[in-house]
Amino acid sequence: MKRLIKMVLAILLGLLSVFFIFYEVRLLYVTSGLTTIRVGGQGAYIGAIVFPLLALLFGFGAWRCFRSAS
């Protein structure tokens, strides 16, 4: 049962990692590589830093859960 929970957690963390990778690519596409930011759109710069960090964090967590489950 513990192994099943770790595998499900690994899958969920992996999906979150993929989501944040997708959202980073989308952010860069929508802002044309952060060159066109509308007034007050400073959150794009924060997202450009935070999204890859979250993707790495969730990916590392997924890897650890998968490794400990197998």
The per-residue pLDDT for range 34-57, each reduced to its tens digit, is 888 777 777 788 889 999 999 999
- pTM score of the predicted model: 0.86
Q: Residue 20 belongs to what domain range?
A: 2-65
For residue 70, being part of any structural domain is answered with no
pLDDT value of residue 40: 74
Q: Please, what is the average pLDDT of the chain?
A: 91
Q: How many domains does the chain have?
A: 1
Token couple for 17:
């990692």
For residue 6, being part of any structural domain is answered with yes
Angle at 22 between CA 27 and CA 45, to 5 degrees: 30
User: Which has more pLDDT, 45 or 9?
Assistant: 9
pLDDT value of residue 70: 81
For residue 61, being part of any structural domain is answered with yes
For residue 12, being part of any structural domain is answered with yes
Say if residues 16 and 56 touch (Cβ distance below 8 Å): no
22 has pLDDT over 90:
yes
pLDDT value of residue 24: 95
For residue 49, being part of any structural domain is answered with yes
